[in-house]
């Protein structure tokens, strides 16, 4: 359903246009005033018409609005610009290696919509940077010489905002590296612009399957029928879908919302994989949920929801690897 607020900006849009990702990209809102946002915005802002249309209240009490509208430049002392010191873990430009067996390619600094709790906010100043094939070939050369890396993660920004040709070429090069056995793509496209999952993109992904795609849904309202269609197309392309959510105050920090989110993900054929405690990124004070509260949510979910729908509650701690917080006992299905 297109809301009155959306119609006010874009007029009466045909279904055909709405479902065309080129139209969604062209009409991405980058000026908060055009979106009718009265908050005093600071920081990076952009939203697709699709995601904008999910907003119901135009203030911080709305879980969609709250994720994307930058009002609190809250530089608390414990937060850090690059909390995981990723910049110093780049042996070659564009490749982060924080774990012995995995590498992460920063394919772009571009996203269709910007999350204000983003771990990689420290790169936002490098706006618009995108990987080139020649730079990726240098990464591939490094990987060939470091065969202990067996898994490659395409992230960003959002890897699925790149054009089809670049995605195809990078996947093809990756498949030619003998030591890379597993490919993962991390993306919020199925939430922000599901129209981008076209037949052509799905068939490219299928060619290089099996591929793992990590989606990122934080609220049940994000699981639209367009997202259902997009994730079904990915599943038919041989993709295994896992979801990473972030526990965010004022977005999903209540039991019923989490219950609905994880059950709906399971219905979509997406395994809820991680529920992250919000990373210590600057400007994220307003999103912090006490660890104890997260544990309570998970412990209750373990009792009331089937095991497949239970994610692991995780904190990524600067200077250490990911810490598993809950559930601590065996999950009953």
Q: How far is the CB of 307 from ligand SF4 (least distance, A)?
A: 27
**Cα 258 from Cα 119, distance rounded (Å):** 21
Q: How far is the CB of 115 from ligand SF4 (least distance, A)?
A: 3
**What is the per-residue binding string for ligand SF4 in 184-213, x denoting contact by CB under 6 A?**
----x-------------------------
Site for ligand SF4 in 101-120 (CB under 6 A): 111, 114-115, 118, 120
Q: How many residues of this chain bind ligand SF4 (CB under 6 A)?
A: 9
Q: How far is the CB of 332 from ligand SF4 (least distance, A)?
A: 32
Of residues 188 and 249, the one with the C-beta less far from ligand SF4: 188
Q: How far is the CB of 287 from ligand SF4 (least distance, A)?
A: 12
Q: Specify the DSSP element, H or E, that contains 167.
A: helix 164-175
**What is the per-residue binding string for ligand SF4 in 20-59, x denoting contact by CB under 6 A?**
----------------------------------------
Of residues 265 and 302, the one with the C-beta less far from ligand SF4: 265
Q: Do 220 and 261 form a contact (C-beta atoms < 8 A)? A: yes
Partners of 212 in the β-ladder: 184, 240
For tokens 């990911």, the residue is: 322
**Cα 14 from Cα 35, distance rounded (Å):** 20
Q: How far is the CB of 226 from ligand SF4 (least distance, A)?
A: 17
Distances (CA, A) of 10 to 17, 24, 211: 11, 11, 36
Show the DSSP H helices in 33-109 as ranges: 49-52, 63-68
Q: How far is the CB of 222 from ligand SF4 (least distance, A)?
A: 12
Site for ligand SF4 in 122-181 (CB under 6 A): 156-158
**Cα 167 from Cα 136, distance rounded (Å):** 11
Going by C-beta distance under 8 Å and a sequence separation of 6 or more, which residues neighbour residue 16? none
Partners of 184 in the β-ladder: 153, 212
* 283 forms part of the interface with ligand SF4 (CB under 6 A): no
Positions touching ligand SF4 (CB under 6 A) are: 111, 114-115, 118, 120, 156-158, 188
């Amino acid at each position: 359903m297109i809301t009155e607020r959306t119609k006010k900006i874009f007029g009466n849009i045909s279904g055909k246009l709405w479902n065309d990702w080129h139209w969604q990209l062209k009409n991405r809102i980058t000026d908060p005033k055009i979106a009718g946002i009265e908050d005093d915005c600071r920081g990076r802002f952009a939203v697709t018409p699709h995601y904008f249309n999910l907003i119901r209240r135009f203030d911080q009490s709305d879980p969609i609005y709250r994720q994307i509208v930058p009002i609190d430049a809250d530089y608390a002392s414990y937060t850090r610009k690059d909390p995981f010191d990723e910049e110093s873990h780049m042996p070659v430009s564009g490749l982060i290696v924080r774990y012995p067996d995995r590498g992460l390619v920063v394919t772009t600094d571009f996203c269709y919509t910007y999350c204000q709790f983003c771990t990689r906010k420290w790169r936002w100043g490098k706006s618009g940077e995108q990987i080139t094939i020649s730079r990726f070939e240098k990464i591939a050369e490094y990987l060939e010489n470091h065969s202990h890396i067996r898994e490659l993660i395409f992230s960003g920004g959002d890897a699925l905002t790149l054009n089809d040709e670049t995605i195809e070429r990078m996947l093809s090069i990756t498949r030619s590296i003998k030591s890379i056995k597993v490919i993962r793509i991390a993306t919020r496209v199925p939430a922000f612009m599901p129209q981008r999952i076209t037949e052509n993109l799905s068939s490219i992904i299928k060619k290089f399957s099996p591929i793992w795609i990590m989606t990122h849904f934080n609220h049940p309202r994000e699981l639209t029928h367009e997202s259902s269609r997009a994730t079904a197309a990915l599943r038919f392309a041989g993709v295994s879908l896992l979801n990473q959510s972030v526990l965010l105050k004022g977005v999903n920090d209540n039991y019923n919302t989490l219950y609905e989110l994880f059950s709906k993900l399971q219905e979509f054929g997406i395994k809820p994989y991680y529920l992250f405690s919000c990373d210590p990124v600057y400007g994220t004070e307003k999103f912090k949920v006490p660890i104890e509260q997260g544990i309570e949510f998970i412990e209750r979910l373990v009792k009331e929801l089937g095991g497949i729908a239970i994610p692991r509650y995780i904190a990524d701690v600067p200077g250490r690897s990911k810490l598993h917080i809950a559930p601590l006992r065996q999950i009953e299905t």
